[in-house]
Chains A and B, each alone.
Chain A
Amino acid sequence: MTTPAVLQPLIAAPRRVDVGAVERELADLWRAAAESSGAEGVVLTRARTLTLLAYGATPEGAARLGEVVLQTSQRHPARSILLVTDPDQPALAAEVTASCRTVRRSHKQICSEQIIVRAAPDQRDRIPSVVRNLILPDMPVILYWPAPDPSDPFFQELREVADRVIVDSAAFPDRGLDALPARGLLRDTGEDAPLGDLTWGRLRLWRGLTAQFFDPAQGDALDRIRRVRVAHAASTRVQALLYAGWLAARLRWTVAQPFAPGSGPWRATLTDQRGHAVTVSLHLESRAPHPAGALLSTMIVAGAGPGGEGDATFSIGRNDDAGAVIATAEGESGPTTRQALPLEAQDEASLLAVEMDVLGRDRIYEEALRTAAALLGQS
């Protein structure tokens, strides 16, 4: 998020209430807050642009998720409903609270409300009916569940309520060549809530810089790409795979030879629209501590052209010392450019907030995911 602000709880501690009394308790909370703020000369505004559902399978996981969800309210004032499976919970219970941020240079406070629904593991199936009762009428509903099991009926039921489901591909366990469980969430029928992915957001800067290389002055080089090299940090290949899948899908390359298992770099061969071979390789590098699976560098090499154009190299590198990503285009005969952009905030809350900007289907992501799966030999 661009303007981090301090969030302050509206009340000292969440209020425990019966699940049937949540709305009434919230109304009381807002009435009391309006009265006290008026006396203090503060203008309090309850803002709600959507309902955000988030699920934590454990109380600890849910507590962390609660913080993430809370931070997104700075960009997307929402009613957030945190769903928790809690073995210490006898049945089903709820808590309500609210948090506010002060608008810069004013006496205004913008507040969002949070509801926590706790269920004993054997009571989890009751949660969806509670959710249906608490979502804001006629407002978008977003479900954030970092790594769901697509076959879990509980997930499926929540997905039916949501207008969009956001996952984090990098949060699924890395399973080698079966490394894209998010692909399983993409159904071809288009009936389910569209899918978003925090890992897709992690690539935004890299995709933008890659696209910038090929502004019209260098546009013809796209037809001459022969090699793509992607280096990534340890733990997961998902970012690198999605980047390669995105590039291949956008440039309409088809997979001729998918990645094969092995201990060294992964290599695949694709075919461009003119029938030329393009080699794509993924390299695990451990130069310094980096976020799991983060892209470290990319290099796109274009061959000589029929019009006398020389080889050209388009490189992007992560420079942690400078806190920047640096993009360089160099050609034997063509122009040279170099530009740096600051490394974007890639914490979970920032990525989720950006992903929540989109409410419909993200066709580009879906195509990238499908092509990345094809690179793994999956359909």
Chain B
Amino acid sequence: METLLSDRLREGLRLRRHPGPCAVVIFGGTGDLARRRLIPDLYNLARKGLLPAAFAVVSFARRPLSDEAFREQVRQSVEESPDIPFDAAVWETFADRIHYVQSEFHDRAGYDRLQAVLADLDGRMGLGGNHLFYLATPPSAYHEIINLLGASQLAGRARRAGDVGGTEGWTRIIIEKPFGSDLETARALNWRVGEVFDETQVFRIDHYLGKETVQNLMTFRFGNTIFEPIWTRQYVDHVQITVAESGGIAGRGGYYEEAGVARDMLQNHLLQLLTLVAMEPPTAIEADAVRDEKVKILHAIRPYAAEEVAAAAVRGQYAHGAVDGRQVPGYREEERVAPHSVTPTYVAGRFEIDNWRWAGVPFYLRTGKRLPKRVTEIAIQFKVPPLLLFRQAGMEEMEPNVLTLNIQPDEGISLRFAAKVPGQATRIRGVNMDFNYGTAFGVEEPTAYERLLLDAMVGDRTLFARRDEVELAWALMMPILDAWAAAPPSDFPNYEAGTWGPDAAKTLIEGDGRRWRRL
């Protein structure tokens, strides 16, 4: 009855869901991701009243800092966040809930201290024994953190079973990408995670999935009757997914040299977008129902044979050039990058999905750094009308309809269709019908991390990757990575910063009688 009454108080408050009491423990809490994104976003959730009254943040990191010193660091980050209003009163009560545990990630004693801090917070604040661990460390630390979470019985399986002092409550873990650096290491990581946590406790985060437009993709497809019937090979000519970045590697040369664009972007962000565009309607908008359908698509994507890679996937690396009127160095001139590096910063590929809906419809994916602008979009290009009725208008071909889902920077949806230019003559021109989030809904959107942090706190895994999803995506990457490793490029750098990638990318799509959209 108590729960029923407390739920009744929540009715009508127009909050999607509200998390219960919990502590968020951030491993790598002094790192860039935690300071610049995670903790400011948690503060912003607190400012909006979306966090529970009983809530704590515990940073677990190597630097020797007191609670107070860490709070001061975070305060500066929050104050410097351009999109987050700083409110001194909110900060004061939020800061009281921030704690710091100094430890090496491999030091068992640190985990014992963490356990003591959490037990104290549970008792003082009524957190209910609910703990959300966030791995915001370099991936090289994942294994030892997971091992020690298990060994110190913080991981939850034992606690959930009531083996430790009968404590109740949930334990969950968020793992940042990259989930491994290839199929083998991904499997090893997943195996290690599975040794310590149930899959139901694991939240593999890809922040792209927290963006409003990505979520709206499902609403758009499955909440309208007019689009889904034409979302097939009978009407769709091809699909283009572009994730273009105008920035470089932003001081992450060490990481990027190891990863490269295929591991950094293609294996996760782009394949996730592809699965959401291509999947069948799920039986419900629930974690496993949605992820089952995404996994089916990953199974249906035709893997490259080694000899096909050269023709179906293009790699590139930027040379110096100009972006937005500013001269920028080439990749090999960046900090902590080898002077003869062969790490790709651009990839374009053609993927085929062997299922009833998409057979014969190519999906062209491209992503790269130092491209002319920052833009992410999914473009569904439809087939042209079967009969050319407007020859008298001097038209030799009709422009295809294009449905574009803009993910950043301006989130929205655009449909291009043909219209007659007013006048006696029959002249036809393509026009865009735009839906822009900022136009239709003048409300503040949550950031992707705000959304995903809340999802993890309420236990909703719909927007997080499942183990099989991650491994299937790596399996699709391996022929490309292997072929590229076997044949290092001889033409790098092969595109100038501020251009749309190497010429070979153009050839890839134009060879199929199509062209990249001009963005």
Contact = CB atoms under 8 A, between A and B. Distances in A.
A75 B90 contact: no
A1 B13 contact: no
Nearest to B121: A335
Nearest to B438: A103
A319 B93 CA distance: 14
Interface string A183-216: 0000000000000000000001101111111111
A323 B440 contact: no
Interface string B459-481: 00000000000000000000000
Residue in A110, A335, A364 with the greatest tally of chain B CB atoms within 10 Å: A335
Interface stretch (A14-22, A89-97, A143-151, A219-227): A219-227
B513 interface: no
Interface stretch (B32-40, B46-54, B248-256): B46-54
A121 B384 CA distance: 59
B49 A335 contact: no
B5 A103 contact: no
A216 B2 CA distance: 8
Contacts, number: 148
Interface in A343-373: 357-358, 362-365
Interface stretch (B62-70, B122-130, B286-294, B351-359): B122-130
Given A223-B2, A322-B89, A213 B53 contact: yes
A212 B5 contact: no
B130 to A, nearest CB: 9
Nearest to A273: B1
Interface in B425-483: 434, 436, 438-444
B1 A223 contact: yes
Given A3-B444, A250-B5, A338-B96, A205 B49 contact: yes
Contacts of A64: none
Interface in A83-136: 103-106, 108, 110
Contacts of B123: 335
Contacts of A219: 2-3, 5-6
A45 B12 contact: no
Interface in B2-21: 2-3, 5-6, 8-15, 18, 20-21
Residue in A49, A108, A251, A339 with the greatest tally of chain B CB atoms within 10 Å: A339
A242 interface: no
Interface string B79-90: 000000101111
B126 A334 contact: yes
A45 B13 contact: no
Contacts of B440: 47, 49, 77
A220 B6 CA distance: 9
Given A105-B409, A219-B6, A326-B89, A335 B126 contact: yes
B53 A212 contact: yes
A74 B442 CA distance: 6
A342 B88 CA distance: 9
Contact of B93 (A106, A207, A339): A339
B324 interface: no
A324 interface: yes
Contacts of B21: 215-217
Chain A contact residues (Cβ within 8 angstroms of B): what range? 35 or more
Residue in A329, A337, A362 with the greatest tally of chain B CB atoms within 10 Å: A337
A222 B442 contact: no
Nearest to A45: B439
B96 A342 contact: no
B92 interface: yes
A273 B4 CA distance: 13
B397 interface: no
A223 B54 contact: no
A207 B85 CA distance: 23
A76 B14 CA distance: 17
B20 A216 contact: yes
B53 A327 contact: yes
A342 B12 contact: no
A208 B15 CA distance: 9
A327 B442 CA distance: 29
A208 B13 contact: yes
A214 B5 contact: yes
A260 interface: no
B11 A212 contact: no
Contacts of B439: 45, 47, 77, 103, 108, 110
A379 interface: no
B46 A339 contact: yes
Contacts of A207: 9, 12-13
B438 A340 contact: no
Given A1-B442, A3-B442, A217 B128 contact: yes
A315 to B, nearest CB: 12
B410 interface: yes
A342 B89 contact: yes
Contact of A2 (B1, B8, B18, B444): B444
A75 B128 contact: no
A336 B441 CA distance: 38
A218 interface: yes
A217 B54 contact: yes
Contact of A217 (B89, B126, B441): B126
A222 B2 contact: yes
B11 A250 contact: yes
Contacts of A364: 11-12
Contacts of A319: 89
A341 interface: yes
A358 B93 CA distance: 32
A319 B53 CA distance: 18
B436 to A, nearest CB: 7
Contact of A341 (B49, B410, B444): B49
Interface in B352-411: 409-410
B489 to A, nearest CB: 36
B29 to A, nearest CB: 21
Contact of B53 (A1, A215, A362): A215
Contacts of A75: 441-443
Nearest to A319: B89
Given A251-B8, A365-B12, A337 B88 contact: no
A164 to B, nearest CB: 15
Contacts of B11: 250, 364
B89 A336 contact: no
Contact of B9 (A49, A74, A210): A210
B438 A104 contact: yes
B83 to A, nearest CB: 10
Interface in B236-284: none
Contacts of A49: 440
Nearest to A73: B442
A105 B11 CA distance: 37
A222 B53 contact: no
B13 A204 contact: yes
B325 to A, nearest CB: 17
A253 B412 CA distance: 46
B481 to A, nearest CB: 37
Contacts of A45: 434, 436, 439
A335 B21 CA distance: 11
Contact of B12 (A329, A334, A340, A363): A363
A112 B9 CA distance: 37
Nearest to B56: A337
Contact of A324 (B12, B87, B434): B87
Interface of B: 1-3, 5-6, 8-15, 18, 20-21, 46-47, 49, 51-54, 85, 87-90, 92-94, 96, 123-128, 409-410, 434, 436, 438-444
11 contacts: A104-B438, A207-B12, A207-B13, A208-B15, A214-B6, A216-B21, A220-B2, A222-B9, A337-B53, A339-B46, A364-B12
Q: Lowest 8 CB-CB distances: which A-B pairs, in order?
A: A364-B12, A335-B126, A324-B89, A217-B126, A219-B2, A211-B9, A322-B89, A75-B442
Given A77-B440, A212-B53, A337-B126, 12 more contacts: A214-B6, A216-B2, A216-B128, A217-B127, A219-B3, A250-B5, A323-B89, A334-B126, A335-B54, A335-B124, A340-B89, A342-B90
